[in-house]
Chains A and B, each alone.
Chain A
């Protein structure tokens, strides 16, 4: 799974290479467009286009019917019931294709979340580092070792109820740094990324499970059964701005990929 993820990550890296020196929004829009296009084709070949057209035609027909015979309440009610019935048929028709489509989309989205979900720290910027412990009982002793270029600003904060120990750190210069955590003589590391937000980076590192490999790729996991359950750096959320609109990358992706999909539907004759 990790090997697969790495291969996938390299593929995505390749795609984003031309956009490295630009604002992240360009990479985001490009991936949204490509996703829209690819999924349009997957949609075309995994759905029963003939039946889809038939159902959509019936729905459109009923809507026109409401307009044409608007004086007759009886017809309107009957027609509305028929629309709902057709709508149900439509949902049934798209259910399996939608499930098929989820597979590639989830990989794309997970990767995108690691590129556009958070911003890397800027030099001089601070962030919380949270170490969460597995198991029950008292919190083990843990120390943090920051490399040159990273300053630990606060002493550790122990939150026994959450089984968590926090620090505030500050980055002093650009680069990738490995923070080290020593627990009972064992050392665990977590990558800290400072500067250049167009790269994919990991926010949280967990123990080696399939779920962890899938949702938090990009960094080797913590050994299974270790005392630490996860190490998280609270990078600031990346926000995209257009005029007065400020929003999450997912909103942009939704709108743009859908726009591309809908826009190209007639070109590729997709229902």
Chain B
């Protein structure tokens, strides 16, 4: 056979060599090859020559623009964000010798708690980080904010609108234009100021950067990027089981049946907005189960995935057809939770495919594409680690950790690529793994946590310690990449505490006469739909906010501004401050903050009127978050989501490590932006509430990597 092939190839080569001019062309196949390879060759040479020719002009232009760099004390600043990394736990593990790299960083520079925002919630805190200002200046107070007219919760960071004009063609309504995506966060990220001075920044997965803004550098958006369905993450669970929960929060349960060894099902994608009567687009798939062999074969859209029990598939490309050749692409991972006695298949939320993003998730747009070609498909959803699936016990802790660390690895690859590429400028990367894993595994640290009842307390008892160790390893590897005249900052937006008991503030408001339900309603309807607004004075929404039903501001407001409002505020403040848990006698609410006293800024009116500072162990209850009112104010939290940070900000500060020594032991998250600007010699703009940690009364000097010192005043270096 080989001989025949070899003879064939030789004959082919001879024939090709004997061809006359007219016969030399060998057809489209080879045409593709030669056209593309020579096009690439030509383009490379063209780019090379172009680069050489243009470089002197660019050099002069950049030199003129990078005037900030002349005054910079550093060539590069690297900020690593570990969402939710807690200072107390960090200290504990550091003292136990588990975090050698962070310990070394602390020894050479700084380690102290970092004051978070009020409320201590990631969207608010990271927005404050990137704008250097309090929430009243960036307008993000929580994940959700109430629509003042309808009381319905809306996402506080971004608004994805519909296309305003369409062209009707039969059953189709063809959009004329793109949907308008608005960033609701206000304020200017500090890397924009650096960019204005010609300083390049790489920003990876910083929360509340969707939709991405333009600046000099690259950015891939983080927390609040929706999934392909437009939600903040909706998983799907296909099961042959007829028992258990019929409905899931954060996910959809789809009952399926075996036909022999085969299951036929559909994966539901986004709604087809090209139809006059929009319906979700679907992709059919089949699963062939080999029960004795404990293998399942998933066949979807021409792809075949072989899966074992409790094994994740790689990212699978899903292409939803909207008609007229228009497709929307997403990616998802499949996971067989069990083969017997019931079959269960978990599918992650459908992430926007970064190779062909349906929405802008990066700046420039091609940066997301670039990353996908660099590291392959990667998680793009803001809340990439599917906490809901574990919370609803669709997957277990092991599967969750596997998924979370898989996302983490993708993020690491992005970070280390940027560290290689950006030799002068700013690199910021936020890892969410720390937040998600602590949310879901905190119960292992707390003996007697209600969520431990009937659950494993051994297998993953070191999950949080392992998490911190793993993050320490990242810091170690980053430190290896650091050179002289470079500064490393490792920080978090808030800390963590146990979430043992939930408080349903709305139930409390009903019991105390501040909220009234409609006649005949029990309050079981989600999103406060059973509330009689014409008789309600206050309501709780989101993770830390309490709002007054103010006349002229809320759709059906009844509380008059002035004395009535003041009296209500005082009354509620007195009653809620130090509120005791009626079951345990413990203090549930440690502090209540009045928005007008807490915030100064143009968006203070959008803030919750009162910000509730829960005590250690407490948080707003699950029912309260979803707007359900019942007769239980205090209840045990038995969900896997057993740790939280939506407490009194005073007891959940973040961490601040730096290779620099700073002028205070009480830095705040709003100080990071002015500090970085200062390091680059850029004056922080006046609107920033934070202050540079390099300024201050004491003589500023700091230790930086490799034993270098820098004088703040002169910028001179000495060994």
Residues in A lying within 8 Å of B, measured CB to CB: 35-36, 39-40, 42-43, 46, 56-61, 63-77, 80, 83-84, 86-87, 90-91, 94, 96-106, 108-110, 113, 117, 211, 214-215, 248, 250, 253-254, 257-258, 260-262, 269
CB pair A98 B23 closer than 8 Å: no
Q: Are A98 and B47 in contact (CB under 8 A)?
A: no
Report B366-394 residues with CB < 8 Å from chain A CB.
366-367, 369-370, 373-374
Q: In the complex, A253 Cα to B25 Cα: how many Å?
A: 10
Known: A61-B374, A65-B370, A76-B51. A103 touches B200 (CB 8 A): no
User: Can you list 26 contacts pairing A with B, beta carbon distance less than 8 Å?
Assistant: A43-B32, A60-B373, A61-B370, A61-B374, A68-B370, A71-B200, A73-B51, A74-B423, A80-B47, A83-B40, A86-B40, A87-B40, A87-B41, A90-B37, A91-B33, A94-B37, A98-B34, A100-B12, A102-B15, A105-B30, A109-B23, A117-B22, A215-B18, A257-B28, A258-B31, A262-B32
In the complex formed, the residue of A with least CB distance to B52 is: A73
A39-B58 in contact (CB<8A): no
Q: Which residues of A contact B32 (CB under 8 A)?
A: 43, 94, 258, 261-262
CA distance A191 to B367 in the complex (A): 65
Most central of B20, B218, B373, B374 by chain A CB within 10 Å: B373
Distance in angstroms between the alpha carbons of A39 and B372 in the assembled complex: 30
Taking a contact as CB atoms under 8 Å apart, the answer to whether A73 and B55 are in contact is: yes
Contact of B421 among A59, A75, A258 (CB under 8 A): A75
Q: Which residues of the other chain, A, contact B34 by a CB distance below 8 angstroms?
A: 98
- Measured in the bound complex, the distance between the Cα atoms of B30 and A46 in whole Å is 12
Residue of A nearest to B15 (CB): A106
Is there an interface contact between A39 and B27, defined as CB atoms closer than 8 Å? yes
> Is B717 an interface position by the 8 A CB rule?
no
B29 contacts A97, C-beta separation under 8 Å: yes
Minimal Cβ-Cβ distance residue in B for A257: B28
> B521 at the A/B interface (Cβ < 8 Å)?
no
Could you say which residues of chain B place their CB within 8 Å of the CB of A248? Answer: 22
Docked-complex contact A260 and B28, CB < 8 angstroms: yes
Q: Which of A56, A70, A71, A113 contacts B23 (CB 8 A)?
A: A113
Q: Are B44 and A109 in contact (CB under 8 A)?
A: no
Is B26 in contact with chain A by the CB < 8 A criterion? Answer: yes
Question: Considering the chains assembled together, what is the distance between the CA atoms of A243 and B674 in angstroms?
Answer: 65
Q: A91 to B37, Cβ gap below 8 A?
A: yes
A74 and B51 alpha carbons, distance in the complex (Å): 11
Instruction: Name the residue among B20, B31, B32 with the largest chain A CB count within 10 angstroms.
Output: B32
- Which 5 interchain pairs have the tightest Cβ spacing? A61-B373, A94-B33, A261-B28, A105-B27, A98-B30
Known pairs A68-B218, A84-B44, A87-B37; A98 contacts B370 (CB<8 A): no
Asked whether B9 is an interface residue with its Cβ less than 8 Å from the other chain, the reply is yes
Contact call A250/B33, Cβ cutoff below 8 A: no
Say whether B36 contacts A90, CB under 8 Å.
yes
Q: Closest approach, in angstroms, between the C-beta of A208 and any C-beta of chain B?
A: 17
**How many angstroms from the CA of A80 to the CA of B376 in the assembled complex?**
21
CB within 8 Å for A72 and B423 given contacts A87-B41, A101-B30, A102-B30: yes
Inter-chain CA distance A268–B324, complex, in Å, is 17
Cβ of A69: which chain B residues have Cβ within 8 Å of it? 421-422
Point out the residues of chain A lying under 8 angstroms from B44, CB to CB. Answer: 80, 83-84, 87
A67 to B44, CA, bound (A): 12
Separation of A258 and B36 alpha carbons in the complex (Å): 12
- The answer, yes or no, to whether B16 is at the interface (CB within 8 Å) is yes
Residues of chain A within 8 A of B369, CB atoms compared: 64
B25 touches A63 (CB 8 A): no
Q: Which of A70, A98, A261, A262 contacts B26 (CB 8 A)?
A: A98
Contacts of A106 in B (CB 8 A): 15-16, 19, 23, 26
B40 touches A257 (CB 8 A): no
A64-B366, A73-B55 known; A35 vs B27 contact (CB < 8 Å)? yes
Chain A contacts of B37 at CB under 8 A?
87, 90-91, 94
Scoring A63, A102, A103, A113 by chain B CB atoms within 10 A of each residue's CB, the highest score goes to A102
- A253 to B31: give the CA distance in the assembly, Å: 11
Task: Tell me if B100 is interfacial: C-beta within 8 Å of chain A.
Answer: no
Give which listed residue, B8, B18, B31, contacts A257 with CB less than 8 A: B31
Shortest distance from the beta carbon of A234 to any chain B beta carbon, whole Å: 15
Give the docked Cα–Cα distance between A212 and B53 (Å). 53
- Using an 8 Å CB-CB cutoff, how does the interface string of B422-448 with A read, 1 for contact, 0 for none? 110000000000000000000000000
| A176, B16: Cα distance in complex, Å | 32
Residues of B within 8 A of A68 (CB): 218, 364, 366-367, 370, 421
Closest residue of chain B to A66 (Cβ to Cβ) is B47
Q: CB-nearest residue of chain A relative to B20? A: A215
Residues of A within 8 A of B58 (CB): 70-71
Q: Residue of A at shortest CB range from B13? A: A99
Are B23 and A42 interface neighbours, CB within 8 A? Answer: no
Cβ-closest chain B residue relative to A264: B28
- Residues of chain B lying within 8 A (CB to CB) of residue A56: 36
Of B47, B200, B364, most A-chain CB atoms within 10 Å: B47
Contacts of A214 in B (CB 8 A): 15
- Which residue from chain A places its CB closest to the CB of B217 in the assembled complex? A68
Q: Considering residues A86, A103, A108, which has the most beta carbons from chain B within 10 angstroms of its beta carbon?
A: A103
| B160: Cβ under 8 A from any A Cβ | no
Chain A residue nearest to B65 in the complex (CB):
A71
Q: Which residues of A contact B64 (CB under 8 A)?
A: none
Of all chain B residues, the one with the shortest Cβ separation from A88 is B37
* A261 vs B32: C-alpha distance when bound (angstroms): 8
User: In B184-215, which residues have CB < 8 Å from any A CB?
Assistant: 200
Is the CB–CB distance between B29 and A43 below 8 Å? yes
Q: How far is the CB of B466 from chain A (nearest CB, A)?
A: 33
Q: Which residues of B contact A58 (CB under 8 A)?
A: 373
Judge whether A43 and B22 touch: CB under 8 Å.
Answer: no
With both beta carbons as reference points, the residue of chain B lying nearest to A58 in the complex is identified as: B373
Q: Which residues of A contact B40 (CB under 8 A)?
A: 59, 83, 86-87, 90
Chain A: minimal CB distance from B472 (Å)? 29
**Which B-chain residue is minimally distant from A36 (CB atoms)?**
B28
Question: Is residue B48 contacting chain A, with contact meaning CB distance below 8 A?
Answer: yes
Taken residue by residue from 127 to 149, chain B's Cβ proximity to chain A (1 for < 8 Å, 0 otherwise) reads as 00000000000000000000000
Bound-state CA distance A72–B58 (Å) is: 10
